[in-house]
Amino acid sequence: MSHLVESLRRSPAVAAALCGLLALALALPGLGNLGGASHGDEGFYLSVVTDMVDGGRIAPSHDGSLVFQKPPLVFWAARFAMALFGRDAFAARLVAALAAAATCAAGALFAAETAGPEAAPIAGLLLAGSFGITRFSRELMLDLPLAACLAASLVNVARALPGRPRALVWAGFFGGLSLGVKGPIGPFVLLLAAAAALAGLRRLELLRRPPLWWGTLAGAAISLPWFGWMIATHPREFWETAVVDQYFRRFSSAHGQMRLGLLWGTLLYAAPFLPLAAVGLVRAIRLPEVRRRSALALGWLLAFYVVFSLPEEHGLHYPLLVLVPLAALAAEAALAGGEAARWTRRLVGLTLLAATAALLAAARFGVAAWTIPVAAPLLLAAAVLWSRGPPIAAAAGSGAVALASCVVFGYLAPAVGRPLVPAGIGRVIAGRPVGVYAEHPGPFRLATGAKDLKELWGEGALRGALDRDEIVLAREHALAGTSPALRARMVPFFLWRRTRPYLSVGDVWAAWRAGDLDALGETCALYRRTLRAPGVVERR
């Protein structure tokens, strides 16, 4: 054991690889389960990927039309995974699991370059055990792949600082790759972060080095052909959707102030190591020697909060992009020791004790109760290690958090979440055209195996589907805003309940007090046009 610990301390590459493998192993349980809460954007991304697969298309498409909102690299990766492993949610979400692994590995290397080799295992395990990584490693989103690209690029910027300019080739390559993941926002954040850090270090000449431009050209060679193809073939649609809607309109309605959503997301996703990261941030601001080492982490944080506080619309998933610099600052503070580090470890221990209490409280729901005796001791062990141990014990404590998160998110949460659709819905549909009202159909295509599910938005589309005698899949809540005359034309013939996509603290508290999970659900149904007396409604 001591030999392994020493290897992790002296070999950041080994620590990064092990942390990446741990993150991947933690993401795999429950990866293909479509029950429970899911981010709304994932529905759109799954719709795009299933449309590409079912239509045999290479270009990202949605209901047969090209998609201009987002670049194609993540969609292509998910489509390739489906070709290898089958048309299901596991294959589509495997991209997210691999991105989580890459983020943890690159984060460990980033910490090694900015806080010392011994920081690599600590930062990597902190990331693997963070609630943000654990949460979004099971959903097909663009933010974790973008975070992996940002981390890989800035790792190589850090490597170039001591006099290894060839590392800038890879820095430019991953920067160019981020363009194909989520558009210009990735390279812009990278450039701003690197420029802020290098300006503080008086090393701006690195941005003019030829290796950086060679790497940028290599990354652009992967990403830019798609943009060029879209501009050449669909100039107006591409300009209006990819440029005006995604950037001009969102930034032109800015208030120019930081949004509470970004801070709330940071507090949530960096738990439970946020107190230690806060100490690391204070040390980096107050101590010149720490500030020099942590310049890239500080530049990364500055670039993120400046850029992402400008648009009017915000997503709670955006702070995933700053987990890596926060973990690096936390690892630096853990290695520094002293009274501040001891107190922060105690705060982290209290946080883990609170998480243990919340986990035990979940036993009241009576669902997947066998997971409670497994996860609770892990959290308790992590609390003890964090509050009493040296840095390597703190890393072990983070690993315990990661394992507990695996149990909770991999087994408990999917068991608590009602299925997206019941198992028998394929028999009920029986090949008939189905319209999904006020939701993206991608998750339903994967859950039912059907290919002809179309999305319906607005009363006109809903009325047209009824006129064509199609089946409509809809949530009861979504139909509440339609006209009574239109609802009178619809009769439900298959009802079930599923977990609502977003749950407020008040709703969860009320459901816990009542010991009733149904309070967290909503009624969904298959509807058909009223032509005759309704048949017997089947409930699941």
> Which whole-number Å values give the CA distances from 173 to 75, 99, 109, 216, in the listed order?
19, 17, 17, 5
Tokens of 215: 């790497």
What's the pTM?
A: 0.89
**What would the mean pLDDT of 504-519 be, rounded to a whole number?**
80
Same domain, 21 and 163: yes
Same domain, 402 and 431: no
**How do beta strands 538-539 and 61-62 pair?**
unpaired
Same domain, 306 and 214: yes
Measured N-to-C along each axis, helices 391-407 and 338-361 cross at an angle, to the nearest 10 degrees, of 20
Residue 35 lies in domain: 2-415
Among the candidates 415, 443, 468, a domain finishes at 415
Among the candidates 396, 415, 434, a domain finishes at 415
* 78-92, 135-149, 300-314, 348-362: least confidently modelled range: 348-362
Same domain, 303 and 221: yes
pLDDT at 515: 79
Same domain, 138 and 215: yes
Q: Hey, what long-range contacts does 505-512 have (CB within 8 A, 24 or more apart)?
A: 511/365, 512/361, 512/364, 512/365
**Percent of the chain topping pLDDT 90:** 31
423 and 373 Cβ atoms separated by less than 8 Å? no
Same domain, 379 and 451: no
Domains in the chain: how many in total? 2
The single-letter code of the amino acid at 253 is: S
Same domain, 367 and 487: no
69 and 245 Cβ atoms separated by less than 8 Å? yes
How many angstroms separate the CA atoms of 321 and 324, rounded?
7
Closest C-alpha to 48, from 465, 440, 510: 440
Task: For residue 492, tell me if it sits in a domain.
Answer: yes
Task: For residue 397, tell me if it sits in a domain.
Answer: yes
One-character DSSP codes across 409-463:
IIIIHHHHSPPSS-TTHHHHHTT--EEEETS-SHHHHHHH--S-EEEE-HHHHHH
pLDDT at 135: 82
Same domain, 449 and 363: no
Same domain, 240 and 324: yes
Same domain, 450 and 402: no
How many angstroms separate the CA atoms of 132 and 265, rounded?
9
Same domain, 182 and 299: yes
pLDDT at 464: 93
Tokens of 390: 């040296």
Name the average pLDDT for the chain. Answer: 83
Measured N-to-C along each axis, helices 119-129 and 323-336 cross at an angle, to the nearest 10 degrees, of 130
How many angstroms separate the CA atoms of 189 and 195, rounded?
10
Task: For residue 262, tell me if it sits in a domain.
Answer: yes
Taking only the tens place, the pLDDT of each residue in 390-446 is 665 666 666 666 666 666 666 666 666 677 888 778 777 877 889 999 989 999 999
Closest C-alpha to 433, from 449, 446, 451, 421: 451
- Does 4 or 330 have the greater pLDDT score? 330
Task: For residue 420, tell me if it sits in a domain.
Answer: no
pLDDT at 298: 95
Burial 345-383 (b: 16+ CB within 10 A, else e): bebbbebbbebbeebeebeebeebeebbeebbebbbbbb
**What would the mean pLDDT of 517-532 be, rounded to a whole number?**
81
**How do beta strands 65-66 and 538-539 pair?**
unpaired
- Spatial neighbors of 429 by CB under 8 A, at least 6 apart, are 448, 450, 471, 526
Phi-psi region of 532 (alpha: psi -120 to 50; beta: other; left: phi over 0): beta
Same domain, 463 and 338: no
Taking only the tens place, the pLDDT of each residue in 76-96 is 999 999 999 999 999 999 999
Among the candidates 359, 392, 415, a domain finishes at 415
